Chains A and B, each alone.
Chain A
Amino acid sequence: MIERPASAHTVPAVARRDFLRLAGATAAGWLALGAMSDRIRIVVSLTALPLDDELTRRNLTEAKTSRLGGLIGGLKQRGWVEGVNIRFELRSSFGGPDKLKAAVKELIDLKPDVILTGSTVETAAVMAATKTIPIVFATANDPVGNGFVESLAHPGGNATGFTNSTAEMGGKWLQLIREAVPDLSRVGILFNPDTTPRAGRFFLDSIEQEATVSGVSVVPAPVDAPAEIDEAIRRFSEPPKATMIALVDSFLVINRQAVVAAAAKYRVPMIYPFHYFMDAGGLMSYGPTLEVRSADYVDLILRGTKAGDLPVQSPRKYDLLVNRTVAQALGLKLPFTLLARADQIRE
């Protein structure tokens, strides 16, 4: 993403001195590397996913699309080579509040130079544990509201990072699912109040606003445990015609297979906030394209920039993914407007 093409010389007059410049650049590179390699830097990543989740598995981290993979690759481009001058540690908070606490303690004890966090819950837990170690959060829906930063442009504290879907996205999800299911009369909102921003209210306001405009009733379907997912979805298989919206929720991500499976089982059209759900066989997803440039910020922080000076980055691109096969299975006919908007139509 940050890749810069190999330098093409645009200054022919000095082209003949390339060898000198090359030598100089090489020397400078060695010097820079030498200056930084005085000790191994430690970068710790805390994820809500279990370590056996395919999203966190090491072999997959090599992929650029994965957060950790993007980070490792990006840092390598900037001279941070794993095992040479940097060490990556991955910790999972999966398993409940105790597990989260233990994981946080464990990573603080590593005396890391930078802590990367996944979602809002982990960020809050780490921020509670340290005010000095720089924290880069990968996804936070409301960093200002959560008290992670003072403002997006000037965070001020020891944390910065990337925001995810904004609150208005709730209305967008409802609009999109309505386009797929024009005759719906109610919409179920699936979320775990513990792991969703502001226990779901973050998005519910815009959903309810849009629902009012379009005459749809909003039915929250909070779940606390994976076992409740099936029942929560089943309730929307019965008439009147209903669809569901899955909110931004690490719980749902962890249990994406169960969610998608239940939606298919009970033939409930559901819109998801991440493409992970599409990989699991979901109908459609709409959310910001993950342009997480953690490597940039980790690099800057490792070189001495204060995390509080780095602005929080917001998403600029949004992807609409639609699975036509699933739609057909559900008996849905996708309109042109939806298809025209879709960035990816899966069969």
Chain B
Amino acid sequence: MNEAIDQGHLRAPAGRLFRKYLYSIVALAFAALAISTAFDVWFSYREQKQLLAATQREQAASAAVQIGQFIGQIENQIRWLSHLPPELSTNEDERLNAIRLLRLSPAIAEIAELDSQGRELVRVSRRVADRIGSKADLSATAAFRGANESRTYYGPVYFFGDTEPFMTIAARGAGRDPNVIVAEVNLRFIWDLVAGIKVGNTGKAYVVDRMGVLIAHPDLWPALRRSDLSGHPDVRAALDGGAPPAGGLVKEDLSGQRVLSTYETVPSLGWLVFVELPLSEAYAPIYASIGRSTFLLVILLALAVLVSLLLSRRMTVPIQILTQGARRIGSGDLGLRLAIKTGDELEALGDQFNRMAAHLRESYATLERKVIERTSELEKARDHALAEHDAAERARSVAVQANETKSRFLAVVSHELRTPLNGVMGVLQLLDDGSLGEAQRRHLATAAASGETLIALVDAVLEYARLEASAETLETRDFRLDQLIETAADLMRPQAFGKGLIFDLACDATVNTSVHGDPVRLNRILLNLIGNAIKFTPHGGISLNAAAERHDNHVWLRVTVRDTGIGIAPDMHERIFEDFVQADDSIARRFGGTGLGLAIGRRLTRLMRGELTMESTPGAGSSFTLEVPLGLAASGIAQGAVQPPSRQLRVLMVDDDPVNCEVGEAILNRLGHRPTIARNGASAVERARDQSFDVILMDLHMPDMDGVEAASRIRRLGLATMPRIIAVTADVSRSARERLAGAGIEKVVGKPILINALREAIEDDPKDEPAAVQLAAGALIDRHFLDDQRELLGAAQIEKLHSLLGETSEQLVQDITKAAAAGDHKQLARSAHQLGSAASALGLVRLFEHCREVELAAATMSPPECQGAARELAALREASMSALYDVLQPAGQSSVG
């Protein structure tokens, strides 16, 4: 039937159809069989009953005929006797004839011959003595009269001797005076006849007379009891002349058994022959027939079930295969071939399915081929794009590297420049001990001014380098805004006047306030702007307007510097804020300068979250506007004046450079403190242990041990009063500060040492110090976390992670910068997230937090904000990495000395 494609699997879902078919076929077969059997049984039952009744009627008729013959024979014999001519025989002959008749007929108990007058001629009996010629007058007897009236007289049945049924039969002879023969017949002889009638196996035939009295019965004794059956309804009905029911009558017989009964009338006698068959026997064939039919029904039914099973399977299995095939084709198994071999429509359907699947397979193959082709084309295009991208990336990284090299160079150079300058400036400051002449003092002042300019130049380069590396951080504190502006104006006014320019300062009253910010950077910007104005204004004047808008939690400072100078061409308006750009190359030649001023200014402004803008008309002048938000100063800030040292401090100056030591010592003395000098780290530790100091000024770069190490050792001395340690270094980057914070160094004083900066640093009470620096430094890395990590993973692993973080974070920062530039918020958020995740792995909490902020805010950021955020992240990343490097790296290997 089928070639068994995973039969077990196929059969599982179906069954409903199978059962439906099975039940239908079984029901159909059962109904057909049951109806057929029922009809068969019903008709068989009817036929059997009719047949039975007919048979019984035949038996009854036969019995009636036999009884009729029995009587008829006796009648004939009597008739023979009566027809003997009377004149031919004597009485003795008559007697002999009668005796002969008795021999012939045992049923005849007695024969009497009467003459035509009714007188008895001869009487021959079996019981009593014969009588001859008694002449007894019997003419009045019913028998004689009856014989004369009709051909043969049949008397009523009477019982002789109480039990013996007898009947009188009389016949008249022929001729003129015919004799009459009267015979007494013992009807018990019918018993032999009746007993011999077979009715089935256990059936009976019996005879009743015209009165309903039982004459003969196979059991004999019921007849001898003179049973009167005329009371029985069926006998009564029969006696009344009713015809027997065609199908026989069911009744109870004498012994109470249920029988099928029918009867027949004996002709001429009017007796009734009843034939009765017990129902149990009569219907036994019918019951047997029903039983056999039922048996046959069960057998056929079982056969029908078997055939139904086979048939249902034949019908459902192909359908199941089709269903399963359709499902598998539906689920994509197009290689499937249905094997239905039923040779009918189902097979055709299966073939159709196979063809459909084949078509589908071909279609899919074509489709797949096309997809593969397209995919490979796309891959090629993508590879090409990637290659281009890689090339661009390489070019960019080369450029970045070059830029970094440049920055590093600048930083190194400027740093190297500052150290000798430091010495020069220090000496110049010391020269003015009050004993100089006017000319000397002027020369000294010029030298000092040149030195200052040189330092400013170097500082600008250094600052630019730092800004370029996003390593610059603001150093904020409270200051008087008006003071700052006035000081700047005062500083630059002589230059303006010197060029014959008018210098207007117009400060709004709102400027008279204390603010919190980075006065040094702000001052630098102002000076730069004023300086540029003076520089590029050959005649006319400069005006400086300042106003402060007070807001809830900050002050919005707006400073405008206008000049009547040469102006700037519109196409240069933005470019002049770029690095090393001046409006014209000729300008550089004419006016000098690094071209970094505005770039630094703008960068610093942006670092302060402010904006530096310009308007200019070439030939008519320029107007630069600085707008920057400043924090509100804490109340009670000292106003303006530099406070004298509150007390004399014991200061340990640690520096390996003798010039620096000398300068430092002189400055300290000038400031009224008591300096002690240590020329290396070891002696510094020794001194700190031996003497008590209030402040230690620690140079960070020393040959024997670096300042940080020395500070750490001093810390570990466990001194009763711990001196404040202030680092003296040219590297005031944030990373450096953080590294110092780790060693308990709270303050940094830039090199070269400026007297004011030093005084400020020494006299600044740490309690007044804004916590921000310390906090910022401390919070950049979660040391606890990092230490745990280190303990957990081991130093080598951490180192690996560190270098990995360095690479990935750099890449991510680049991505962030790119995304910010392209305005791709999503990419920005994603990259920020990745950076945050990477940062959190080594406990760079600040970077992590900022990344999260950027990530969350990225969607709503404006392009400038995005760029700003990117820069911040870049800066923070640099700082964090640096701090991490410092934490992880053994001391003395700092990259920046």
* A residues apposed to B, CB below 8 Å: 2, 4-5, 7-8, 10-11, 13-14, 17, 20-21, 24-25, 151-154, 166, 168-169, 171-172, 174-175, 206, 210, 213, 293, 296-297, 300, 309-314, 316-318, 336-337, 340-341, 343
Q: Using CB atoms, name the residue of chain A closest to B109.
A: A316
A96, chain B: closest CB distance, angstroms: 34
Q: Which residue of A lies closest to B288 (CB)?
A: A20
Most chain A CB within a 10 A radius of its CB, from B159, B198, B226, B281: B198
- Given A10-B198, A296-B220, A311-B163, CB of A340 within 8 Å of CB of B127: no
A289 CB to closest chain B CB (Å) equals 9
B466 at interface, CB cutoff 8 A: no
**Interface assignment of B438: CB less than 8 Å from any CB of chain A:** no
Return the CB mask of B574-594 against A: 1 if under 8 Å, else 0. Answer: 000000000000000000000
Alpha-carbon distance A10/B52, docked complex (angstroms): 10
Query: How many Å lie between the Cα of A10 and that of B63 in the bound state?
Result: 13
**How many residues in B have their beta carbons less than 8 Å from beta carbons of A?**
45
- Complex A-B: 22 CB contacts under 8 Å: A7-B201, A11-B51, A11-B200, A24-B284, A25-B201, A152-B161, A152-B162, A153-B163, A166-B127, A168-B129, A169-B127, A171-B128, A171-B129, A172-B129, A293-B220, A297-B221, A311-B221, A311-B225, A336-B96, A340-B96, A340-B103, A341-B102
Neighbouring B residues of A17 by C-beta, 8 Å: 284-285, 288-289
Our pick among A14, A172, A316 for the contact of B128 (Cβ within 8 Å) is: A172
| Distance A337 CA – B90 CA, assembled complex (angstroms) | 13
B225–A11 contact, CB under 8 A? no
- Of the residues B59, B103, B189, B201, contact of A21 by C-beta under 8 Å: B201
By a CB distance below 8 angstroms, the chain B residues around A21 are 201, 281, 284-285, 288
Give, as a whole number of angstroms, the nearest-CB distance from A159 to chain B. Answer: 14
| Inter-chain contact B129/A296, CB cutoff 8 Å | no
Q: Which residues of A contact B102 (CB under 8 A)?
A: 341
> Which residue in B126, B224, B285 is a CB contact (below 8 Å) of A20?
B285
Which 10 residue pairs are nearest across A and B when measured between Cβ atoms?
A: A175-B129, A311-B224, A14-B285, A152-B162, A171-B129, A20-B288, A168-B128, A152-B163, A17-B285, A340-B99
Indicate if the CB atoms of A153 and B226 lie closer than 8 Å: yes
B253 to chain A: closest CB distance in Å? 15
- B598 vs chain A, min Cβ distance (A): 133
Quick one: which of B125, B198, B226 contacts A8, CB cutoff 8 A? B198
Which residues of B approach A to under 8 Å, CB–CB?
A: 47-48, 51-52, 55, 59, 92, 95-96, 99-100, 102-103, 106, 109, 125-130, 159, 161-164, 186, 188-189, 195-196, 198, 200-201, 219-221, 224-226, 281, 284-285, 288-289
Kindly state the separation between the CA atoms of A220 and B162 in the bound complex, as whole angstroms.
Answer: 31
Q: Which B residues lie within 8 Å of A300 (CB)? A: 221
**Min C-beta distance of B195 to chain A, whole Å:** 7
Q: How far is the CA of A213 from the CA of B92 in the complex (A)?
A: 17
- Chain A: CB-nearest residue to B200: A11
In the bound assembly, the distance between CA atoms of A171 and B123 in angstroms comes to 14
Q: Total A-B pairs in contact (CB under 8 Å)?
A: 114
CA distance A210 to B128 in the complex (A): 10
Q: Given A168-B127, A317-B106, 6 other A-B contacts at CB below 8 A?
A: A7-B201, A10-B59, A10-B198, A175-B130, A311-B163, A311-B225
Given A7-B198, A11-B51, A340-B103; A313-B189 close (CB under 8 Å): no
Complex Cα spacing A168 to B130, Å: 11
Contacts of A5 in B (CB 8 A): 196, 198
B164 in contact with A314 (CB, 8 Å): yes
Q: Which residues of A contact B128 (CB under 8 A)?
A: 168-169, 171-172, 206
Residue of A nearest to B55 (CB): A11
- Interchain CB contact under 8 A, B163 and A341: no
Instruction: Please indicate which of the listed interface residues A169, A213, A337 has the most CB atoms of chain B within 10 Å of its own CB.
Output: A337
Q: A11-B52, A11-B200 are in contact. Are A172 and B221 (CB under 8 A)?
A: no
Roughly how many angstroms separate A7 CA and B203 CA in the complex, as a whole number?
Answer: 11
A10 contacts across to B, CB distance below 8 A: 55, 59, 198
Beta-carbon nearest neighbor of A178 in chain B = B129
**Chain B's nearest CB lies how many Å from the CB of A166?**
6
**Residue contact A153 to B106, C-beta cutoff 8 Å:** no
Question: Are A318's CB and B195's CB within 8 A?
Answer: no
A316 and B163 CA atoms in complex are apart in Å by: 11
A166: chain B residues within 8 A (beta carbon): 127, 161
**A316 CA / B107 CA spacing, docked (Å):** 8
B residues within 8 A CB of A341? 99, 102-103
User: Shortest CB–CB separation between residue B147 and chain A, in angstroms?
Assistant: 25
Q: In whole Å, how far is B245's beta carbon from the nearest beta carbon of chain A?
A: 19
| Minimum distance in angstroms from B74 CB to a CB of chain A | 15
Contact A313 B221 (CB under 8 A): yes
Nearest CB of B to A345, in Å: 12
Q: What residues of chain B lie closer than 8 Å to A313, measured between beta carbons?
A: 163, 220-221, 224
Q: Are A316 and B164 in contact (CB under 8 A)?
A: yes
B59 cross-chain contacts in A, Cβ below 8 A:
10
Q: Considering the chains assembled together, what is the distance between the CA atoms of A310 and B161 in angstroms?
A: 15
Known: A17-B285, A17-B288. A337 touches B99 (CB 8 A): yes
Chain B residues in 8 Å Cβ range of A296: 219-221
CA A24 – CA B51 in complex, angstroms?
Answer: 21
Q: Closest CB of chain B to A156's CB: distance in Å?
A: 12
Complex contacts, B99 vs chain A, CB 8 Å: 337, 340-341
Question: Shortest Cβ distance from B280 into chain A, in angstroms?
Answer: 9
**Cβ contacts under 8 Å, B164 to chain A:** 314, 316
Contacting residues, chain A, for B52 (C-beta < 8 A) = 11
Alpha-carbon distance A312/B220, docked complex (angstroms): 11
Interchain CB contact under 8 A, A210 and B284: no
The residue from A25, A153, A174 contacting B129, defined by CB atoms under 8 A apart? A174
How far is A17 from B284 in the complex, measured between Cα atoms in Å? 9
Q: For the complex, what is the distance from the CA of A10 to the CA of B59, rounded to whole Å?
A: 9
List the B side residues contacting A168 at CB < 8 Å: 127-129
* Measured CA separation A94–B148 after assembly (Å): 58
CB distance from B340 to the nearest CB of A (A): 49
Cα distance A11–B162 in the bound complex, in angstroms: 39
Question: Nearest Cβ distance between residue A134 and chain B, in whole angstroms?
Answer: 14
Decide: A13 near B201, CB < 8 A? Known: A153-B163, A175-B130, A313-B163. Answer: no
Q: What is the chain B residue whose CB lies nearest that of A309? A: B225
